[in-house]
């Protein structure tokens, strides 16, 4: 017997009047998956998340959670829980009462719900702050409380709307590790909306790249990086040169490009437009004869063996084996 996927979207469309936010999106998220919905703002990733959560109702199509069609069910009856971008902690309740809120709504008695809320606060290392109000906490602490409040409902799927965007870079890195750890320990699916490709690469088992309300590519992040399905994905995920090649378009990873002599292999002549020292790597940007922009990401020793400066003529070369052909957009 095969277990149903945690989430399945079947030809889901969301319209606001004449505007289409999400168009004909189909997606399967297997059990226990860390899934990132990735894309630029306005690509439909948040609308998709909110339709899974039940805070928006799909105009067309079906939303299935753990084998049950939940398309029109209220949020609390879907087996999902949402962590909001602003955290949306109730400002008049202490951390403990925030976390205990869902139990209170269910009529669980006070002693028990406070004990259980305490356990979940401990899960996110916030038990010391149980009696504080949200306004007395830092952004990172508020987020932990919001996480505990979502998890206490024992969801099959946790939905996170840009959870890391309000944190400073240092805290973001730590929270990222922690989210991944929690997801693995709890064994449930996380669906995490982000516009940061590095976040998606670091966290996801399944990266879903969206653009203009549609899914461009849904695959493990390594596959998205190594075999982007379109010029959009290659550009958005970063680390690729997207270049014309005869009538079609190719993508070549910037770390596979070198500066060298135009031999028989593929190459692009141009001028150096920028040089960025990044420590282990040096990023050299080139502008081709027809105005194409390309980048070579060179190991520092390779660069310093034959350094170039802005304005120098240089030729970008790569191996035919590294060429990835993109589908016509």
Partner 1 sequence: MGGGVARVVLGSFFVLFVLFLYGPTLTILVLSFQGPDGGLTFPMNGVSLHWFANLFETQAVGDFGGALSRSLMLAGMVMLTTVVVSVAAGMGFRRRFAGSGALFTLTVASLIVPSILVSLGIGLLFTLMGWDTAWYSSAFGAQLTWTLPFGVLIMFAVFNRFDRSWEEAARDQGATAWQSFRHVVLPIIAPSVIGIALFGFTLSYDEFARTLLTAGSDNTLPLEIFGMTTNITTPVLYALGTVTTLLSFTVIGLALAGVALLRRRRLGSPAG
120 contacts partner 1 (rule: CB under 8 A): no
CB atoms within 10 A of CB 72: 10
Six token digits for residue 47: 């609308």
Q: Cα–chain-centroid distance for residue 205?
A: 10
Strand partners of residue 211: 214
Return the residue of 93, 171, 275, 281 that touches partner 1, per CB under 8 A: 93
Return the residue of 12, 37, 58, 150 that touches partner 1, per CB under 8 A: 150
Helix (H, G, I), strand (E, B) or coil at 23: strand
Residues 174-203 that bind partner 1 (CB under 8 A): none
Q: Which stretch binds partner 1 (CB under 8 A): 91-99, 193-201, 209-217, 233-241?
A: 91-99
Length of the chain, please? 329
What is the Cα–Cα distance from 62 to 133, expressed in whole angstroms?
A: 39
Closest to partner 1 by CB, 16 vs 277, is 16
Q: Which of 185, 218, 179, 182 is nearest to 202 (CA)?
A: 179
86 contacts partner 1 (rule: CB under 8 A): yes
At closest approach, how far in Å is the CB of 150 from partner 1? 8
Return the residue of 10, 73, 133, 175 that touches partner 1, per CB under 8 A: 133
Closest to partner 1 by CB, 48 vs 254, is 48
Helix (H, G, I), strand (E, B) or coil at 187: coil
Confirm if 46 and 75 have CB atoms less than 8 A apart.
Answer: no
At closest approach, how far in Å is the CB of 102 from partner 1? 4
Q: Which residues bind partner 1 (CB under 8 A)?
A: 53-55, 74-76, 81-82, 84-86, 88-94, 97, 101-102, 104-106, 110, 114, 131, 133, 149-150, 153
């Amino acid at each position: 017997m095969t277990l149903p996927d945690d989430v399945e979207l079947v030809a889901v469309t969301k319209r606001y009047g004449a505007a289409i936010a999400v168009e004909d999106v189909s997606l399967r998220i297997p059990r226990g998956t860390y899934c990132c919905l990735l894309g630029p703002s306005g690509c439909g990733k948040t609308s998709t998340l909110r339709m899974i959560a039940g805070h928006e109702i799909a105009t067309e199509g079906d939303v299935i959670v753990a084998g049950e069609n939940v398309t029109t069910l209220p949020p609390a009856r879907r087996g999902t829980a949402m962590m909001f971008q602003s955290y949306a902690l109730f400002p008049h309740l202490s951390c403990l009462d925030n976390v205990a809120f869902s139990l209170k709504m269910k009529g669980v008695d006070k002693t028990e719900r406070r004990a259980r809320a305490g356990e979940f606060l401990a899960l996110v290392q916030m038990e010391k702050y149980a009696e504080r109000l949200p306004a007395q906490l830092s952004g990172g602490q508020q987020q932990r409380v919001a996480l505990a409040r979502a998890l206490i409902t024992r969801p099959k799927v946790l939905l996170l709307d840009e959870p890391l965007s309000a944190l400073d870079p240092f805290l973001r890195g730590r929270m990222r590790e922690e989210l991944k750890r929690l997801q693995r320990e709890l064994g449930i699916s996380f669906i995490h909306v982000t516009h940061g490709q590095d976040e998606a690469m670091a966290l996801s088992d399944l990266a879903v790249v969206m653009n203009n309300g549609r899914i461009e590519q849904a695959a493990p992040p390594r596959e998205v990086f190594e075999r982007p399905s379109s010029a959009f994905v290659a550009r958005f995920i970063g680390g690729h040169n997207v270049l014309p090649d005869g009538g079609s378009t190719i993508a070549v990873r910037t770390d596979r490009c070198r500066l060298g002599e135009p031999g028989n292999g593929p190459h692009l002549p141009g001028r150096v437009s920028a040089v960025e020292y990044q420590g282990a790597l040096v990023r050299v940007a080139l502008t081709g004869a027809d105005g194409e922009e390309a980048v070579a990401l060179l190991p520092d020793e390779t660069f310093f063996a034959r350094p170039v400066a802005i304005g120098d003529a240089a030729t970008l070369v790569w191996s035919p084996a590294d060429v990835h052909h993109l589908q016509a957009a």
